[in-house]
Amino acid sequence: MRPTVLLFDIDGTLITTGGVGRKAIEGAFRKRYGRSDACAFPFDGMTDKLIARLGLEAIGVEPTESEMDALLADYVQVLRIEVAAAEDKNYRLHAGMKSTIEAGHKAGHAVGLGTGNVREGARVKLERVDAYRYFAFGGFGCDAEERALVIRRGAERGAERLGKPLSECRVVVIGDTPKDVAAAQAIGAESIGVGTGSYSPEALLESGATHAFADLSVAGALAALVGS
């Protein structure tokens, strides 16, 4: 078996949150700038840094690194409140995820995150469903604005944990949007699409996913992801 790095997206892939991320970033803009109109665009597949940049540009604030960092620090503070307040019926780990993650660890794979969330935002979201402990590394939205660069950084960290050059590793990106698929393709990785977000498995296959399933509890999903 080739050394394997598994990189899981969070929102729409690992978990459904009832929209706490959008509520939190909009709350951060209100807190910092008194504006509620900064983020009138879809977030699917975007990194937190890119969302911050586009939101700042929309309200006429120069998106410097220091301004984005300050905004995202406010975002994490608001996110903690939104996550704590979310109803259980709207906040859950998706079907098949826990058993798949555990199988990846059992197989000796490097199991990490490949997410647009900043690292602390990822922790806050996943601790609510007791899942953050499964992921010792990742590529995060604080690493880069471009998703492909985030995924590459996660793959590099995974290869480091395996003690292998990245060129010798099989990398699999698990995500729910065509942007996850495109990021995987950009670094020569495989991709497993899950229809637990806004896109069907058929749409994800059409975007170029190596495999796609309704969720990871479907027959054949675990074998496609873990490999042999």
Same domain for 51 and 128, yes or no, is no
Mean pLDDT of the chain: 96
Same domain for 49 and 151, yes or no, is no
Same domain for 81 and 149, yes or no, is no
Backbone angles phi, psi at 119, to 5 degrees: -55, -45
Tell me the residue range of the domain where 187 lies: 4-16+91-226
Q: Of 54, 85, 116, which one is at a domain's C-terminal end?
A: 85
Same domain for 103 and 173, yes or no, is yes
Backbone angles phi, psi at 11, to 5 degrees: -70, 125
Mean pLDDT within 143-159: 97
Same domain for 73 and 120, yes or no, is no
Q: Tens digit of pLDDT for each residue in 191-215?
A: 999 999 999 999 999 999 999 999 9
Per-residue tokens: 180: 């996850």
Neighbours of 182 (CB within 10 A): 18
Residue 115 has pLDDT above 60, yes or no: yes
Confidence of residue 45 (pLDDT cuts 50, 70, 90): confident
Q: Of 42, 66, 85, which one is at a domain's C-terminal end?
A: 85
Same domain for 159 and 192, yes or no, is yes
Same domain for 28 and 50, yes or no, is yes
pTM above 0.85, yes or no: yes
- CA distance to 27, 84, 131, 183, 222, per residue, from 227 (Å): 42, 37, 22, 21, 8
Environment class of 217 (CB within 10 Å of its CB; exposed 0-12, middle 13-18, buried 19+): middle
Same domain for 65 and 105, yes or no, is no
Mean pLDDT within 88-111: 95
| Domain total of the chain | 2
Per-residue tokens: 41: 């665009």
Same domain for 42 and 10, yes or no, is no
Same domain for 96 and 80, yes or no, is no
Same domain for 119 and 216, yes or no, is yes
Mean pLDDT within 54-78: 97
Residue 228 has pLDDT above 80, yes or no: no
The pLDDT of residue 185 is 98
Mean pLDDT within 58-83: 97
Mean pLDDT within 43-67: 95
58-75 in b/e burial notation, b at 16+ Cβ within 10 A? eeebebeeeebeebbebb
What is the CATH classification number for the domain harbouring 162?
3.40.50.1000
Same domain for 59 and 167, yes or no, is no
Neighbours of 186 (CB within 10 A): 14
